[in-house]
Structure 1
Amino acid sequence: MCSVLPRNRRVLAFLSFALAVSILFATQLHAQVAGATLSGTVNDPSGAVVPNAQVSARNTATGVARVATTDSAGFYSIPNLLPGNYEVTVTAPGFSTAVQSNIELAVGAQQQLNIGMKIGETTQKVQVTEAAPAVQLTSSTLSGEVQAQTVRELPLNGRDWTQLATLQPGVDKIETQMSYDTSARGNRGFGSEYTISGGRTTFNNYRIDGISVVDYANAAPGDVLGVVLGVDAIQEFSVLTGGFSAEYGRAAGGVVNAVSKSGTNSFHGDVYEFLRNSALDANDFFSVGAGNPKPPFKRNQFGGSLGGPIIKDKTFIFADYEGLRQTKGIPTSITVLSDTARAGILTDKGSGGCAPCTVTLSPYSKALLAAYPHANSAISKDTGKFVFAGVQVVPENFGTIRLDHRISDKDSLFGTYLIDKADYTQPDKMNLINTNSSTKRQTVSIEETHTFGTSLVNAARVGYNRDYVVNQFNLSAVNPAGADLALGSTLNQTAPRLTVKGIADEFGGVNSGSHYLHAWNSYQFYDDANWIHGAHSIRIGAGVERELYNPTAFQNPGGRWKFPSIADFLGGTNPTSFEAGLPNTVSPREMRQTIISAYVQDDWRFRPNLTLNLGLRYEMATVLHDAQGKFGSLVSILEPNPATTADANMRCGTQFNAATAFGVSPQPGTSCDSVGPYYKNPTLRDFEPRLGFAWDPFRNGKTSLRGSFGVYDILPLPGYFLLQQNQAAPFMIFKSTTAKANPALTVPGAFSAGNGQTLLTSSTSSRLAASTIEPNPKRSYTMQWNFNIQRQLDPTLTLTLGYLGSRGVHLLMRGDDGNMTIPTLTSAGYLFPAGGAQLNQALGVIRYVYWNTSSNYNGMHVNLEKRFSHGFQAQFAYTYGKSLDDDSQTIAGDTFGNGLNSPPWMIPKAFYGPSDYDVKHAISINGLWELPAPKSLGSFANTALGGWELGGIFSINSGVPTTPIIADDPLGLGNTGADQFGLPNIIAGCNPVNPNWKADNLQYINVQPNSAGGVGCFTLPQATPAIAAQCQTFGFGSKSNPLGIPGTCANLLGNVSRNSIYGPRLVNLDFSVLKNFPVKRISEVFNIQFRAEMFNILNQVSFVPPQPGSGDGNAAIFGSDGSPSGGSVGQLQEYATATPSREIQFALKFVW
């Protein structure tokens, strides 16, 4: 647990050298984060180079100028320029002064600008009209810029500027994230997640003004609604999708790099309000189908910004505020018991094998039914739907301020502060309790830049990033049963969580379910230097990030019961398991880690038309530890119960008293210094070469051939271990018991109020939960390569066509329960032992982290971009890609709703297939058009017909995959802490997707009976002669079929491939109409703008695929007894769409 510093002398030597050089320069390079670099060659009329020419780049908004001098080769470079509009002036003895205006420098860009001089006097000015090259001639990085006008004018649902990242090829938004009203979403990060170039969502880095702003889960920043406010506070941003150089670390997928707005020499700002309500919107698809009214919706988004000079040409300020107030009905539909079933009258054989029959309700079951809502729709036999629209209330306040100060011609300083606080309240899907989550983000960035002469530029930056999240704390009961302590299974708790096959999970009463606190603090220090030396642009830098993560987890304090059928639940008989975490053993973890990095990057002009990008980065993370020594981890998953003796098997050497193991807090931990680290550090030798080239084959600046190869390490960051430690003994007492191990669980009356505590306290068969981590993990990294060609088709039109590939090695697999049986590979596939024992008989749930998976990505990226001219700009981006892996999870066993939860960790290759976020085809088209104003029609006509703008974003992709499963635990794994599943067989050559699903009640997966005894394209795994003696038939021992289904093999893993069925395509069109009313009487730039924005204007319904879930999802083709699941199986799930129905928003802005 305690970090161990690297002892390797070569590592220390490298770090010492890099840090010493950086400290000598006393700065850090801003080009790595937000600043742009302008470079090029100055030539005379004959083409010869002009040495000792003075090149000045002046920011037209602030008046701040930076100066460089050309070297003997006529080359100049001006790094670390604030993105914006520049005027470049070149002077040299014997030549006229050359001036080129309207040079737009994007965030992080490396812009080449070659300037031709004319013979004459320096007092004569010659305006250069040739535009700067639109292709990238000096860098091999694949990137796209989203400029200020695009951020400001395109329609954005929720005014979330990070949505614009999907305008670039290779970037796709994940539409199967967990719901906001569950603790699962908060644990995985609230922000909207994006996969970049086939990488996991946690492989990305998000930076604002040079500071990493990822959250505690190393996920995208975001509020409780998953959005990032501050459109008017962002100047522009770039998205690096591949081949980024050695300056960039902490990212193996992509980098989103933003810079905030700053003040200028003229005052500028705006005041606005955006308004939405349900009167203008279309009703939800499912609500229309059910005949339900349109849910209420009211949203006000308002604010303003102001920027300007404090001291002209010297000190500037910019401030922005944005507020959001939202009240919205969220329609939900869940499966609950019909009124007849609530009375114990069952008519469906699938409810427990006794239908038709009458079940005598147990007293506890009858009492708990008060926490379940009554069915109000689609009632059939024993179940029906409970449909309602719980009102979601969200207030949010966002603010930022930035100060820029020019200390002298050689020194400048800026600082920014950002704060965003949001709250979320909404009834749960049972309308039992009100749930609440809140987020509070704060970011500070301070940077000082110093110029030494004309060849050395330095900057120094410090930053702070904080997240504080309250995740799913329950405020109050909507239904009085939600606060009734008499319904509790554990001490002083409300109704427990119930998982009953055939109906939706009931997540418990007030504070009974899992809920969390997250406190994340990141202190960042960077130091870099940029030195121009002949043909070499050399950058050297180092950084330190100190991470403090204090999560507090309340893990199912009210307990969780599982029942195999409705009949068993109603009768209070045959529960399969019970588990609970004792709240009086909860204490915060205090995770600590330090990331140390250093790099050198040389952009070498090997030839005037060929630049080599040569870089090497070193990046290591200290071993994660707890400041109080409260980490528990088994050396091996086979280690015995840590409660038996002094905790010799735990990593932290804590004395653990078995006699008081349940109901009393464990004794304080001792120092872990003498015991050893949490795991052996795999990052000590994380050297990352980054190699690339950019070649102008025709020497005219209109064509660029580029390619690169790089290694990008994946560090073991704190957020990956939250769910690993939240129920691990001895510092959190979480126990479980199963019917298989504990006969007392199935005796009459075992399922009764308060008896859950007794079962776990008194039974010798109840087991502690623990965790294990691979003690000697291998280095985890991706190798990435690309080749592309850029061609300037005309001065404003550029085409990029490229290939990008990557391979992930030793990727992390995190699972919710690895305590399972071990299979044998047979001629028929992986066979698990019938009735076999779990690996560790002394423990219950064992959460695990192993670095044993891999990934591959290959993609073609196409980008056609027309820069703004003549009032029009447009972009077309297309990606054809394939992402494959063994497992796509990093934070949890099921990071995404369409993923399998915790597949058997010992056979990862059995699950190699498309990634959970794989999208084969994706197209994004966006554009802005300022309609031409009429001429000579008079002032009234000019006012009425002029000033119109149109904007739009059209996106379409081929959908994400899902996996058909067999519900529950047919394989007999026994890992009750995970969402269990089996896999069916698939008939070769059969298409599992119903081609008529739109007309067939959204029946997406074909589940009609087939001639092989299964449904659709699926059959149960079959017993071959070679394994028949070892097979357990499906349904064996059930009430309806005690001998089971002959010829089947329940404990055989079927041959259907993971993620083999792709969901429907996703289509969306957002459109905006803007009308500008310039008010010249106030000022030349004062403008009143009216906006009408229509999101999903076509009202296209984009469904997510049927999801596996824990057997309660619509992808569970068969039940655990082998019977077809029936009901809604194979259907697209209700109220599970990737985009909302059509929404219309109006806004009024005053801009100056």
Structure 2
Amino acid sequence: MQAQTNTAGAVTGQAASGDTITITNPSTGFSRTITVGADGSYRFSQLPTGQYQISRNNGSPRNVTVNVGTAANIDFVSQTAAGPQELGTVEVVGTGAINPIDVSSVESTTILTAEQINKIPVSRDTTNVALLAPGTVRGDAAFGNLASFGGASVAENQYFFNGFNITNTFQNLNFVQVPFEGIAEQQVKTGGYGAEFGRSTGGVINQISKRGSNEFHAGGNIFWQPEELDESNPNQFNNLGTLIADNSQQKDYEMRAAVWASGALIKDKLFLYGLYEYGHTGARLDPTVGGGSSTQAKSDEPKWLLKADWNINDSNILEFTALSDKREFETAYYRVEPYETDATRGYYQGTAFDNFGGESYILKYTGYLTDTFTLSVLAGTGESARENWSVSANGLMNSYQGAVGQGASGCPVIVDARAAAINGLIPSRVGCELAQFLGRPDAKDSRDQFRIDAEWQLGDHLIRGGVDIDNYESVAGESYSGGIVWRYGRYQVDLNGNGDPSDDPSLADGIVRKRVFQSGATVQVDQTAFYIEDSWNITDNFVAYLGLRWDTFENKNGVGETYAKIDNQFAPRLGFSWDVFGDSTFKVFANAGRYALPLTGNVAVRGASASLFSEEFYTFTGVDPSTGAPTGIELVDNPNNGRAIRYLNNEFGVGKDPNTIASQNLEPMYQDEYILGFQKQLTDNFSMGVRGIYRDLKRAIDDQCDYRPILAWAEENGFTFNPDTGGFQEPDPANPTDVAVYNAGFPFCRLYNPGSDGIFQMDVNGDGVLETIPIPADVLGPEAKRKYTALEIFWQGDWDKFFIQGSYTYARSIGNTEGGVKSDIGQDDTGTTQDFDYPELAIGSYGYLPNDRRHSLKLFGNYELTDEWSVGANMLVQSGRPINCFGFLGGSATSHYANSYFSCDPGPVGIPGDGSGNNGTTVVPRGTSGRLPWTTTLDLNVAYAPAWMEGLQFKVDVFNVLNSRDAVTVNEFGEDGAGNPQPEVYQAATGWQEPRSVRFMVQYDF
């Protein structure tokens, strides 16, 4: 019988028909008694996690541990051919650190308790604990080093806390940072999870909080990672040995402190747990010798957690959870002039401010309405900020104003591409901006979730079902710093009006381009799911599982209009678990399932809502010494098309027609998964298992931006295209301003299913009528492909003073898309990466993907040397990921993607390019340019709990004891944006393993 629940566990077993079974939690007084059914089986469902005692007919109790999402088995009789036979009084389930084999489940799950986590050297955060599970690998640093599950991108996971979804659905790249000291258990689902869980094609991380009991507890701890014991990253060099960045003084420090208390407000009835945690971190990033910024960063993280439990009576429980994860970051910027050999910090540029996090509130009711029927109801709400602004050294505040068309204040972005600047003949104009893009200072995300789950034991069938309503809203947007990018370039203009833009070469460096970009909207993702599942005990030791799930995803733009909707996407799940010997010591299991992923909220902000993107060109007479912006400007014709103003990508600052955003035949994205495995208890203290995994992405949703087939269709159907205006109609003759636009009904990028025909609606000629434009699949580009195969071997052991856990995984991840994000170039536009924007981008794209880590060996545990001293270890040995060679695709009409193609000829080191560029004939398929080196990381700790003061403990963790410094990222661009080889930087290391650091802890708990 499958115990699929994200907040509680279960206890099941066999007894004689008519027996009474009582389960009690001594710490809370919770008690339930049920009568064994005619089939001789019993089940206690939806039990809060913790230590229980269970007895038959008021006999001697046995101890049992209830963990989240699993079922512990306690048999009082065994079922044999001759009938039920009484068992002895030997305890069946222990209470050690290792979880017993759950013969009722078909899931691939790892559970780590707070006690286990405290004993091993691991960073105290959700992701690093999740990475201990088999089949997980660390994703790219561009997305915060999140966990990748089973070959999926890091944007395809779901996160839960006390049953509430805490995933940040705006990009799926963040989640509520629960105060770690308040977590009692973390469950990591790497595959095979049942119909209760959805909206994930990666994994599920499920956390349960600590709670109060009849016994009063209080305590506090301090974790301190001193700067003096922190090693630095290696210095960065190019392939000629030239120093690029001096990292010798790069140091981090961290201090975290927590205090907590728990107990009963009313004995056996009302319990409270409270925690306050404060963290402060700081880091210095050393100068880039080649020119750039040095930063001094710090953060303050005040967090709190409150958990209340009310045992109304033995049949009704009410839980309330409130928490805050507010975090404030300040980053001071200092300018470093090019090739400052002493690598000293330059002048102060300003400070950037970022605020994240907010508060969440969760209320849950559980009712044991009969011996066989349980009902739970959850309602939760949460809000989290994503605020961003900066203040430059000259006192200018860089802030996005919050609405398209209002612009942004502060320092504009300055780019100097003139020959004299590039050759060092004039100073490079860096201006006073700190970052190219600014987010909205009022940006935030909010969630309202409501779900009902019911469980009914009906003879041999355990029926579960429910509804999950999860509505998410995001206030989001961004703008260039100061609202503008000024680019001093080598432009040529037709001042004489004779059609020759090069007739005045003396003005090549006298033109500046003004580019404006703004986006901003309040967008929504409404999600509803229904599920039903049946765990059927076909025999006493064989469970068949069938789950059915229907998901509806509705995405809305900035004015509340639906631009994409998937109705009742069907996701079946099927599996079995065979308790081979009938004693929970040997399980064979398998499952097959379909999993779906909704579009995230970020898709709508620019793609489906109002945005503005324009270019203008000017002559100028001077430069503002403070901001670097041009002065004395005068508007001139656009060197590119002879027009003064050009609006790109259908971005005029007005809303987009929601009917034009997605293909009319858009189908849901989904992935199929198959798992077959076994788990065997080899001794009373040691078990191991093996499972094979196959995942296949069957259909994807992404965007496509190729305008050529749209123009071809329009011309074939009698529409006249004007290349001067870039549209299908001339500007209004009464309007003296020349404006080059694509019509408002002509969306530049559109959602579709890669590999399928597109049926797009567009107002081609601007008459207010949408034309239906069919484009064949072979014109739009290839089908999205991603396949993951793996063999996992996992083990766990528990003795009186020693526990060990680990895994070895052999895996292959191959395809032409990573999924939600694109680690190749650090693109975090979840769901709308550039993978399928143009067919040319897919040339050579099929190969081994960024999360392809062929070999992973994980081993961690703890040994108690004496009653006072213990040592812990955590080791990871892993092969490197594949390397690409990106470059320019010569002759391509999509050259604005510069060196983003799998077309590359880096040339030999030491021989500079001849400037001719790559003609596009050198295709280098994905992942065929070698691999990053193997990495080995060993972490150790030692803890001392003095006998002279119970509850006091001291601990030292040393991370990366050997200070291994292998590269984990390299420069994968073999050519620059014009196709010129750059052998001096190609495959030069840009990132390394985390350097050695030391963390001290002192804790007192009473």
Query: What range describes the TM-score normalised by the shorter chain of this pair?
Result: 0.7 to 0.9
Residue 769 of structure 1 is matched in structure 2 by 649
2:213 to 243, 248, 264: 264
Quote the Cα distance in structure 1 between the aligned partners of 2:62 and 2:998.
Answer: 43
Q: Is the 8 A contact 2:884 2:926 kept in 1?
A: yes
Query: Is 1:1099 aligned to residue 963 of structure 2?
Result: yes
Quote the Cα distance in structure 1 between the aligned partners of 2:689 and 2:369.
Answer: 37
Residue 215 of structure 1 is matched in structure 2 by 168
Residue 66 of structure 1 is matched in structure 2 by 32
Residue 762 of structure 2 is matched in structure 1 by none
Quote the Cα distance in structure 2 between the aligned partners of 1:413 and 1:492.
Answer: 49
Q: Using a 3 Å threshold, how does the CA distance of structure 1 residues 813 and 575 change in structure 2: closer, same or farther?
A: farther
Query: Is 1:206 aligned to residue 206 of structure 2?
Result: no
TM-score (norm: length of structure 2)? 0.79
Quote the Cα distance in structure 1 between the aligned partners of 2:119 and 2:466.
Answer: 37
Stretch deviating more after TM superposition (704-713 or 29-38): 29-38
Residue type of the alignment partner of 1:767:
Y
SS of structure 2 residue aligned to 1:162: helix
Greater strand fraction, Structure 1 or Structure 2: 2
Residue type of the alignment partner of 2:646:
S
1:851 to 750, 753, 757: 753
Q: Is the 8 A contact 1:238 1:256 kept in 2?
A: yes
Quote the Cα distance in structure 2 between the aligned partners of 1:949 and 1:598.
Answer: 48
Q: CA deviation at 1:514?
A: 1.4
Stretch deviating more after TM superposition (706-715 or 1050-1059): 1050-1059
Q: Using a 3 Å threshold, how does the CA distance of structure 1 residues 314 and 266 change in structure 2: closer, same or farther?
A: same
Q: CA deviation at 1:153?
A: 2.8
Q: Is the 8 A contact 2:702 2:753 kept in 1?
A: yes
Quote the Cα distance in structure 1 between the aligned partners of 2:509 and 2:38.
Answer: 87
- Cα deviation, 1:607-649, whole Å, max 9, x if unaligned, reads 11110011111110224233x35xxxxxxxxxxxxxxxxxxxx
Residue type of the alignment partner of 1:256:
I
Residue type of the alignment partner of 1:396:
E
Q: Is the 8 A contact 2:21 2:55 kept in 1?
A: yes
- Cα deviation, 1:119-138, whole Å, max 9, x if unaligned, reads xxxxx997432336932311
Residue 276 of structure 2 is matched in structure 1 by 321
1:106 to 67, 87, 111: 67
Q: Using a 3 Å threshold, how does the CA distance of structure 1 residues 499 and 107 change in structure 2: closer, same or farther?
A: farther
Quote the Cα distance in structure 2 between the aligned partners of 1:873 and 1:202.
Answer: 33
Quote the Cα distance in structure 1 between the aligned partners of 2:637 and 2:475.
Answer: 28
Q: Is the 8 A contact 2:24 2:31 kept in 1?
A: yes
Quote the Cα distance in structure 2 between the aligned partners of 1:902 and 1:117.
Answer: 60
Q: Is the 8 A contact 2:827 2:833 kept in 1?
A: no
Residue type of the alignment partner of 1:242:
G
Q: Using a 3 Å threshold, how does the CA distance of structure 1 residues 779 and 581 change in structure 2: closer, same or farther?
A: same
Q: Is the 8 A contact 1:514 1:557 kept in 2?
A: no
Residue 732 of structure 1 is matched in structure 2 by 611
Q: CA deviation at 1:1150?
A: 0.6
Residue 981 of structure 1 is matched in structure 2 by 900
Query: Is 1:173 aligned to residue 138 of structure 2?
Result: yes
- Cα deviation, 1:294-336, whole Å, max 9, x if unaligned, reads 3454422111111111111111110111111223212352633
Quote the Cα distance in structure 2 between the aligned partners of 1:72 and 1:1056.
Answer: 63
Residue type of the alignment partner of 2:699:
H
Q: Using a 3 Å threshold, how does the CA distance of structure 1 residues 495 and 557 change in structure 2: closer, same or farther?
A: closer
TM alignment of 1:1048-1059, pairs within 5 A? 1050-1052=919-921, 1054-1057=923-926
Q: Is the 8 A contact 1:818 1:904 kept in 2?
A: no
TM alignment of 1:409-448, pairs within 5 A? 409-428=314-333, 430=335, 432-448=349-365
Quote the Cα distance in structure 1 between the aligned partners of 2:103 and 2:511.
Answer: 65
- Cα deviation, 1:155-186, whole Å, max 9, x if unaligned, reads 233x21431111111111213325xxxxxxxx
Query: Is 1:888 aligned to residue 818 of structure 2?
Result: yes
Stretch deviating more after TM superposition (297-306 or 747-756): 747-756
1:953 to 874, 878, 881: 874
Q: Is the 8 A contact 2:134 2:794 kept in 1?
A: no
- Cα deviation, 1:816-870, whole Å, max 9, x if unaligned, reads x65679999xxxxxxxxxx999999844994554331533333334343334331
Quote the Cα distance in structure 2 between the aligned partners of 1:297 and 1:418.
Answer: 28
Quote the Cα distance in structure 2 between the aligned partners of 1:961 and 1:426.
Answer: 33
Quote the Cα distance in structure 2 between the aligned partners of 1:319 and 1:572.
Answer: 69
Q: Is the 8 A contact 1:609 1:697 kept in 2?
A: yes
Q: Is the 8 A contact 1:482 1:509 kept in 2?
A: no
Residue type of the alignment partner of 2:804:
A
Quote the Cα distance in structure 1 between the aligned partners of 2:490 and 2:819.
Answer: 30
1:559 to 481, 484, 500: 484
1:753 to 617, 630, 635: 630
SS of structure 1 residue aligned to 2:29: coil
Query: Which structure carries more relative contact order (alpha carbon 8 Å, separation 6+)?
Result: 1
Gaps of 5+ in 1: 1-28, 43-49, 119-123, 179-190, 337-385, 484-489, 630-671, 738-743, 825-834, 934-945, 987-1004, 1016-1033, 1036-1043, 1081-1085, 1107-1113
Greater helix fraction, Structure 1 or Structure 2: 1
Q: Using a 3 Å threshold, how does the CA distance of structure 1 residues 229 and 553 change in structure 2: closer, same or farther?
A: same
SS of structure 2 residue aligned to 1:201: coil
SS of structure 2 residue aligned to 1:163: helix
Residue 922 of structure 1 is matched in structure 2 by 856
Quote the Cα distance in structure 1 between the aligned partners of 2:998 and 2:164.
Answer: 35
Q: Using a 3 Å threshold, how does the CA distance of structure 1 residues 622 and 267 change in structure 2: closer, same or farther?
A: same
Q: Is the 8 A contact 2:700 2:753 kept in 1?
A: yes
- Cα deviation, 1:650-673, whole Å, max 9, x if unaligned, reads xxxxxxxxxxxxxxxxxxxxxx6x
Q: Using a 3 Å threshold, how does the CA distance of structure 1 residues 865 and 757 change in structure 2: closer, same or farther?
A: farther
Q: Using a 3 Å threshold, how does the CA distance of structure 1 residues 203 and 287 change in structure 2: closer, same or farther?
A: closer
Residue type of the alignment partner of 1:850:
Y
Calculate the aligned-residue CA RMSD, in Å: 4.0
Q: Using a 3 Å threshold, how does the CA distance of structure 1 residues 1122 and 722 change in structure 2: closer, same or farther?
A: closer
SS of structure 1 residue aligned to 2:785: strand
Quote the Cα distance in structure 2 between the aligned partners of 1:529 and 1:399.
Answer: 31
Residue 197 of structure 2 is matched in structure 1 by 248
Residue type of the alignment partner of 1:581:
V
Quote the Cα distance in structure 2 between the aligned partners of 1:710 and 1:117.
Answer: 33
Quote the Cα distance in structure 2 between the aligned partners of 1:219 and 1:1132.
Answer: 29
Quote the Cα distance in structure 1 between the aligned partners of 2:1005 and 2:423.
Answer: 54
Query: Is 1:235 aligned to residue 164 of structure 2?
Result: no
Q: Percent identity?
A: 18
Q: CA deviation at 1:558?
A: 4.0
Query: Is 1:619 aligned to residue 547 of structure 2?
Result: no
Residue type of the alignment partner of 1:701:
S
Q: Using a 3 Å threshold, how does the CA distance of structure 1 residues 575 and 398 change in structure 2: closer, same or farther?
A: farther
- Cα deviation, 1:904-934, whole Å, max 9, x if unaligned, reads 5343753222222222222211111111x3x
SS of structure 1 residue aligned to 2:155: helix
Q: Using a 3 Å threshold, how does the CA distance of structure 1 residues 557 and 480 change in structure 2: closer, same or farther?
A: closer
Quote the Cα distance in structure 2 between the aligned partners of 1:865 and 1:837.
Answer: 66
Q: Using a 3 Å threshold, how does the CA distance of structure 1 residues 392 and 807 change in structure 2: closer, same or farther?
A: same
Residue 678 of structure 1 is matched in structure 2 by 563
SS of structure 2 residue aligned to 1:453: coil
Q: Using a 3 Å threshold, how does the CA distance of structure 1 residues 839 and 34 change in structure 2: closer, same or farther?
A: farther
Q: Is the 8 A contact 1:198 1:918 kept in 2?
A: yes
Query: Is 1:453 aligned to residue 332 of structure 2?
Result: no
Quote the Cα distance in structure 2 between the aligned partners of 1:577 and 1:843.
Answer: 24
- Cα deviation, 1:747-773, whole Å, max 9, x if unaligned, reads 999997058894699944512333773
Residue type of the alignment partner of 1:1131:
A
Gaps of 5+ in 2: 80-85, 238-242, 336-347, 400-406, 494-504, 652-659, 713-722, 729-739, 755-782
1:539 to 464, 470, 475: 464
TM alignment of 1:943-1022, pairs within 5 A? 946-966=867-887, 970-974=890-894, 976=896, 980-984=899-903, 1007-1008=908-909
Residue 110 of structure 2 is matched in structure 1 by 144
2:5 to 25, 32, 46: 32
Quote the Cα distance in structure 2 between the aligned partners of 1:870 and 1:732.
Answer: 63
Residue type of the alignment partner of 1:416:
T
Q: CA deviation at 1:536?
A: 0.4
- Cα deviation, 1:780-833, whole Å, max 9, x if unaligned, reads 111111111111111221111011111112213357x65679999xxxxxxxxx
Residue 1147 of structure 1 is matched in structure 2 by 1001
TM alignment of 1:1031-1046, pairs within 5 A? 1035=915, 1044=916
Residue type of the alignment partner of 1:156:
V
1:866 to 781, 793, 796: 796
- Cα deviation, 1:387-438, whole Å, max 9, x if unaligned, reads x752111111111000001001111111000101111111347463322211
Residue 259 of structure 2 is matched in structure 1 by 304
2:475 to 541, 547, 550: 550
2:92 to 101, 110, 130: 130
Q: Using a 3 Å threshold, how does the CA distance of structure 1 residues 317 and 879 change in structure 2: closer, same or farther?
A: same
Residue 716 of structure 2 is matched in structure 1 by none
